[in-house]
Structure 1
Amino acid sequence: MYFSLISLFLRLLYISQQVMLHSSINNCQSWLLTVCLDGSLPGYHFQKGFGSGSNNWLLHIEGGGWCNSIETCEIRKRTALGSSKYMDPLIPFDGILSHQSSQNPDFYNWNIVKMRYCDGASLAGHPESEFKNGTKLFFRGQLIWEAIMSELLSLGLSKAKQALLTGCSAGGLATLIHCDDFRAHLPKDATVKCLADAGFFLDEPDILGNRTMSNFYHDVVQLQGVAKSLHKNCITEMEPSKCIFPQQIIKNIRTPLFIVNPAYDFWQIQHVLVPAGSDPDGYWRRCRLSIQKCDSTQIENLQGFRSSLLKAVGKLQHDKEGGMFINSCFVHCQTWMAETWHSSNSPRINNKTIAESVGDWYFNRKVTKEIDCPYPCNPTCYHMDFTQPS
């Protein structure tokens, strides 16, 4: 279902006008330099709240991976993940973004914003890392975050009574990176929390023992100057690229945090545990595409990956303000789709949907730390199967 959203490009024009009218010349210049990888203006979609939700805000950061080299960023800038030229002006708002109470019982009438993702570094890149040798790439993720936040604050976010920052995948990682900054911009008496969906990427070796994900993040951090957006306590203690992993980020987050993550995240299985180059003989080919095609030895490997995730989120298990929903599904993002967020067929743990668990945590109705039993115990799981024809 499509909602009547503000046109992306009209909204971009309005952003620039707001800055020129209300900011100093220097800030105005910063806004005008706030661009996607290709130099086009960034943007977001907005659904105005109503009724009891008029002063409440939910911000969702779009996901979409990262680029770790000039070559991959050049490819990315010719897509909607690197340029607003390719973004759809209208998009569906489902799941946690929905204005239907049946689909989104706790947040349906809030002001809801979807921030588009077009920098390739989880809104954490810095222009000082841009190349000046003719390569036309802009690493401005941190500026994009600051500019859109400034715009939303002027539209009413600064007076929020309740607020939730969330995001999926690379947007979930961006949520973790910017969580405390989000809290710092809002009234002290406001209830402000963060929710990362499928953003808890693990610093684990692949099946050959190579640290594929660690090396990849190292390249992203180096290329786009991400270290400046990471917590100082961490980067003084270890290699900055280690500090982009959620296991390190959550050690310094003060704002209440909820983690939604499948124990068998198909993206992580396909890119962290079994990246394509680690399986030259194709032994994992079918298992990578469908957990139901895995043999007993492969399932044993996946159970070890699940154990690593549970160990990595251990801090939240002891945090009285933290929450989690770790189900045993072969899926990736689950909050922005009605089918997995809150419907009659949604995945459940202890008979609760993700939406009900997040709502209980956000509104302090119940302590919510739901950890599923290992695969294949949960019959409510929504398992992706990439071996089936689309």
Structure 2
Amino acid sequence: MIYARFSHPWLNLLVFGLVLLKTDGLYVGITYVQNAVAKGAVCLDGSPPAYHWDRGFGSGINSWLVHLEGGGWCNNVTACLERKNTHLGSSKKMAEQLPFSGILCNRPQCNPEFYNWNRVKVRYCDGSSFTGDVAAINPATNLHFRGARVWLAVMEDLLAKGMRNAENAILSGCSAGGLASILHCDSFQALLPLGTKVKCLSDAGYFINVKDVSGASHIESYFSQVVATHESAKNLLPSCTSTMRPAMCFFPQYMAQQIQTPLFIINAAYDSWQIRNILAPADADPHGIWEDCKYDIKNCLPSQLMAMQAFRSQFLISLLRIGKSSSRGMFIDSCYAHCQTEMQEFWFMAKSPALNKTRIAKAVGDWFYDRTPFQTIDCPYPCNPTCRNQIYDSEHNLQY
């Protein structure tokens, strides 16, 4: 059989070997940070924090990609008690092995730029995007609000295992982890030696402060409760909290401009989680009018699409509030999606979403290595034929 050969290596990688089966991947074992318990750096239930680490090799042996897991937040004791008995609140409930794909993949065919780096997935078990720190523990609930301590304990463990010798480093994350990668971006850089090339990547972490379809400020109230419950204020950016209420500093639009470390923002302008939970949360839609639309954008009524277009406009206004910077990257597509770096279908495959004929993996690689700046905002839905729009079933499980 004869294959065409392209002059650009990225085109060759897209043509050869990119039909990757979900079952054909790398599974990485869990590491528990046992010595963190003595420091009070624990999950909601008091169990030790954890991460999954696949060692770098070859030219990537001194390069580190630290990826923060997502999974929402808990905004009060009741919600945190429910979370405490899941993998998002206890390392006792975590899978001992996790599949690494997308930005965590260990093969050049699926992750051309970072495949041989040290790739770490930090598990998320505190419910505050690694910002909480409440000293007291109520014996009635035994809840530990210690996200900020977890962050530092995991970073110290990774530094001791070789990250202190990093020549290149990226802090990335998805969803609540994507927000955490912004919140902790500068502190991540501060942990690493001078001369290390450090950048941060936020995937689906640019949550915006916008009213829901009923006119209520649902997400602002929710984030206020998260910050209060976890006493996060002292671990948010002081340059932000000195000028506005701490809860507002949980929103990137009010604090990301103050991040000094280069930052790349990957987000769908029609972020499916934000549409479902910020624009049209259940409390704002008591009759379920938005249900079919929220779980498949193709089912949206014209009036609902108008509301989603208005959400996109507000998203872009909020995004542009952080100002222009030559060091910042942006990949803002018009897909109905949430988290696009961990899933191979979005990160790097022949049919992955593209802006200006550039897929996410290439845009990020060009930005990190300072080859080509990438700051692109897509046209409105449904203009982009490369989009992979997510569909959810009645149980809110992701389908295709």
Smaller-chain TM-score bracket: over 0.9
Q: Which residue of 2 aligns with 1:105?
A: 112
* Counterpart position of 2:163: 157
Match of 1:55 in 2: 62
In structure 2, the residue matched to 1:318 is 324
Could you give the per-residue CA deviations for residues 111-131 of structure 1, whole angstroms, max 9, x where no partner exists?
A: 000000000000111023x45
The residue that corresponds to 1:12 in the other structure is 32
Residue 298 of structure 1 aligns to a residue in which SS?
A: helix
Contact 2:102 2:348 in 1 (8 A): yes
For 1:108, give the aligned amino acid: Y
Quick one: distance in 1 between partners of 2:101 and 2:199? 20
1:258 corresponds to? 264
Match of 1:368 among 374, 384, 391: 374
Equivalent AA in structure 2 for residue 105 of structure 1: P
Pairwise CA distance, 1:5: 2.7
CA distance in 1, matches of 2:27, 2:291: 42
| Residue pair 1:179, 1:253 contacting (<8 A) in 2 also | yes
Encode CA deviations 1:75-102: one digit per residue, 9 max, x unaligned: 0010000001110111100000000101
Q: Indicate yes or no: 2:354 matched with 1:353.
A: no
Is contact 1:2-1:91 (8 Å) kept? Answer: no
Give the partner amino acid of 1:3.
Answer: L
What SS is found at the alignment partner of 1:113? strand
In the TM superposition, residue 47 of structure 1 has moved relative to its aligned partner by: 0.4
Measure the CA separation in 2 of the matches of 1:232 and 1:380.
41
* Per-residue Cα deviation, 1:154-185 (whole angstroms, up to 9, x for no partner): 11111111000000000001101100000001
**Residue aligned with 1:261, SS:** strand
Alignment pair present for 1:64 and 2:71: yes
Q: Is the 8 A contact 1:317 1:369 kept in 2?
A: no
1:34 aligns with 2:41: yes
C-alpha distance after superposition, 1:181-213 (max 9, x if no partner):
000011211110000000000100001110000
Secondary structure in structure 2 of the residue aligned to 1:91? strand
Paired letter, 1:109: N
In structure 2, the partner of 1:222 is: 228
Match of 1:182 among 188, 192, 203: 188
Q: Given residue 327 of structure 1, which amino acid in structure 2 is its aligned partner?
A: D
CA RMSD of aligned residues (A): 1.6
> What CA distance in whole angstroms lies between the structure 2 residues aligned with 1:126 and 1:194?
23
SS in structure 2 of the partner of residue 313 of structure 1: helix
Contact kept? 1:316, 1:322, Cα under 8 Å: no
Matches within 5 A, 1:185-200: 185-200=191-206
- Which residue is 1:25 aligned to? none
TM, length-normalised to structure 2: 0.90
The 8 Å contact of residues 331 and 375 in structure 2, kept in 1 or not, is answered as: yes
Do the aligned residues in 2 keep the contact of 1:125 with 1:226 (CA within 8 Å)? yes
Amino acid at match of 1:37: L
Q: Distance in 2 between matches of 1:96 and 1:312?
A: 27
Deviation at 1:39, TM superposition (A): 0.8
> Could you tell me which residue of structure 2 aligns to residue 3 of structure 1?
26
Where does 1:68-147 land on structure 2 (aligned, <5 Å)?
68-128=75-135, 130-132=136-138, 134-147=140-153
The alpha-carbon deviation at position 280 of structure 1 amounts to: 1.9
The amino acid across from 1:92 in the alignment is P
Unmatched runs of 5 consecutive residues or more in structure 2: 1-23
Q: Distance in 1 between matches of 2:55 and 2:61?
A: 8
Aligned to 1:304: 310
Specify the alignment match of 1:270 in structure 2: 276
Q: Distance in 1 between matches of 2:391 and 2:164?
A: 43
Aligned residues: 373
| Residue pair 2:211, 2:279 contacting (<8 A) in 1 also | yes
Structure 1 residue 281: Cα displacement? 2.5
Aligned with 1:360: secondary structure? Answer: helix
Distance in 1 (alpha carbons) for counterparts of 2:159 and 2:126: 22
Distance 2:359 2:117 in 1: 20
Q: Is the 8 A contact 1:317 1:323 kept in 2?
A: no
**1:195 alignment partner AA:** L
Structure 2 partner of 1:336: 342
Q: Which structure carries more helix by proportion?
A: 1
Distance 1:365 1:316, change over 3 A: farther
Q: Is the 8 A contact 1:39 1:137 kept in 2?
A: yes
C-alpha distance in structure 2 between counterparts of 1:5 and 1:199, whole Å:
25
- For 1:132 and 1:385, the matched residues in 2 are separated by 41
Deviations 1:49-70 (A, max 9, x none): 0111011000000000000011
Aligned equivalents of 2:88, 2:251: Cα separation in 1: 21
1:221-274 per-position Cα deviation (integer Å, ceiling 9, x unaligned): 000011111011211211110111011120210000000000111110011000
Structure 1 distance, partners of 2:334, 2:182, is 22
Equivalent residue for 2:8? Answer: none
Name the structure with the higher strand share. 2
Q: Secondary structure at the match of 1:165?
A: strand
Sort the Cα spacing of 1:378 and 1:175 in 2 relative to 1 into closer, same or farther, 3 A: same
Give the conservation status (yes or no) of the 8 Å contact 2:257–2:323. Answer: no
How far 1:12 moved relative to its partner? 2.1
Residue segments in structure 1 that go unaligned for 5+ positions in a row: 20-27
| Alpha-carbon distance, 1:309 to partner | 1.3
Amino acid paired to 1:193: K
